[in-house]
Amino acid sequence: MDCQYLPLESTGQFSQLFLDYLAQKDSLRPFYNRFPKLPAFREQIKEKSFDESKRRILVDALERQYEAIADKPDFSVLLEPNTFTVTTGHQLNIFTGPLYIVYKLITTINLAKQLKETYPSYNFVPVYWMATEDHDFAEINHFSFFGKNYAWQTEQRGAVGRMNPKELKNLFDQIPEKLSLFEEAYLKQDTLADATRYYINKLFGVEGLICLDADDAGLKGIFAPTMRDELLNQHSGQLVNEQTERLAEMGYKTVITPRDINLFYLDDQIRERIERTEKGDYRVIHTKIRFSESQILALLAEHPEQFSPNVVLRPLYQETILPNLAYIGGPSEVPYWLQLKDVFDHFQTPFPLLMPRNFAMYIPAVSAKRIRKLGLTPEDLFKDNLTLKHEFVDTHTRHSLKFDKENKTVNQALDAILHKAQMVDPTLEKAVLAETKRFANAIVRLEKKMRRAEERNQETGIRQLLAVKNELFPNGSLQERSENFLTFYLNDRTFLQKMLSAFDPFNYQMQLCLE
């Protein structure tokens, strides 16, 4: 592949907070620990301690979760004190969801490999944190495949990882292609978490990627002291609000809004927020479930798995149960992690290196050939259609489409006419200026007509240009945010390997991959 690069700020696709973080703006320095450069990992390793008992609980959880998978990874490496993880996370979008989710996984895999090359005395395990407890089904129930959207309809509720995926059989009847891997996953596994683990292991297990389902009693037990503090003292919301206010004063828009209690009650078909009432007891919203303080603390002690951290505490949960060094996130995730630094400090937990994932646009051979023929640059592809069309016409026309020279001559004549008219009668000035304005408007109209005529002359090239643009920006959105990897993988079984070879986890630019 021919890889070309474009600074992210040149794409017009990213928030200022995200871009300023990548630019290492001094004012943002208090909101993170270390910037993700390769040498910073040595310091992060020194700071990250992770005791043997936690490693055993983690490995036991993974062994249970992979029990039905024949070609499961060897988790024993995680018991070694010189082993660390690098992690990305995402919701359980069906059929992997948009391309960028696959790109997050590839970035994480490549980071682990590069760290091993740089620090050979340590082991680095790439981890996919499956957001099994998330309950926003509408965000994961659909995917785009060859330009058509497919959606899973269900009456199931609660944490999506616990849902039965066999209902997806109806979708397989609609999809024109035979997708054997996903049929194996969705129709033969009991939960969406199991199905996702199954196909991710088939796609990336050989690269060392491990899928972790944190909806686990043993893992929640490690985090129970923090959840107890949240129920009793509600520190996290106040700390995040203070960080958010500081960012707002600097002119940044923030992503997350904390609650007083940043925990959900989790049970079959239920994941609802926990609130403390004015009387001092607790209620689960949208239900009749109520607890006294002693009752909810007893439940936490006995069944920590029935408590689920929200977006504020989930990152802290992750860093509590993993020997983790870095989190690989997208352009919305990185900014919201910047709101959380004080929470980590309060609970005396090292803040991980916060890395953006790789950003890419994959350009198949047919489109790549058109781009080269049309003479388009990476910058051109991110311009709006009107600007792109105008610049294309100006570049390829054999004619002058403006009356600049003629306008200069006529304006000089009009100035002379105005001077003469004023000499005869000063009141004629308005009449001459009105005629001058009408003439200028007429010139503008003529230029527009000439441009439209030239666009008709170049209709074939413009049509090819907009076809390429629409292919790379389906529905006006970045390709990686809408297309599914199957769109390319079914035509080229080496697609994933090509992206694994192309991505550098420390290259924080937009990458255009032309076949």
CB 330 within 8 A of CB 356: yes
| Angle, alpha carbons 339-503-36 (nearest 5°) | 35
Q: Which residues partner with 149 through β-bridges?
A: 144
Average pLDDT over residues 116-131: 98
User: pLDDT by residue (tens digit) across 37-63?
Assistant: 999 999 999 999 999 999 999 999 999
Distances 363 to 15, 499, 514 between C-alpha atoms, Å:
25, 12, 5
Longest dimension (CA), the chain: 101
User: pLDDT by residue (tens digit) across 440-453?
Assistant: 787 778 767 766 76
- Residue-level length of the chain: 515
Q: What's residue 456's pLDDT? A: 80
User: pLDDT by residue (tens digit) across 198-244?
Assistant: 999 999 999 999 999 999 999 999 999 999 999 999 999 999 999 99
The answer, yes or no, to whether residue 454 has pLDDT greater than 70, is: no
Average pLDDT over residues 111-136: 97
Nearest Cα to Cα of residue 465 among 340, 372, 401, 337: 372
Q: What's residue 47's pLDDT? A: 96
Q: What's residue 497's pLDDT? A: 97
More confident residue, 111 or 446: 111
Cα–Cα distance, 271 to 413 (Å, whole number) = 78
The answer, yes or no, to whether residue 399 has pLDDT greater than 70, is: no
The answer, yes or no, to whether residue 401 has pLDDT greater than 60, is: no
Cα–Cα distance, 486 to 503 (Å, whole number) = 19
Average pLDDT over residues 336-357: 98
User: pLDDT by residue (tens digit) across 301-317?
Assistant: 999 999 999 999 999 99
Question: For the chain, which residues make up each domain, given as ranges?
Answer: 2-220+310-363+494-514, 223-237+253-307, 365-478
Q: Is 307 helix (H, G, I), strand (E, B) or coil?
A: strand
CB 31 within 8 A of CB 338: yes
Q: Which two tokens stand for residue 254?
A: 């923030």
Please tell me the chain's helix, strand, coil percentages from 3-state DSSP, rounded to the nearest 5: 55, 15, 30
Q: What's residue 424's pLDDT? A: 78
User: pLDDT by residue (tens digit) across 375-389?
Assistant: 889 999 999 988 888
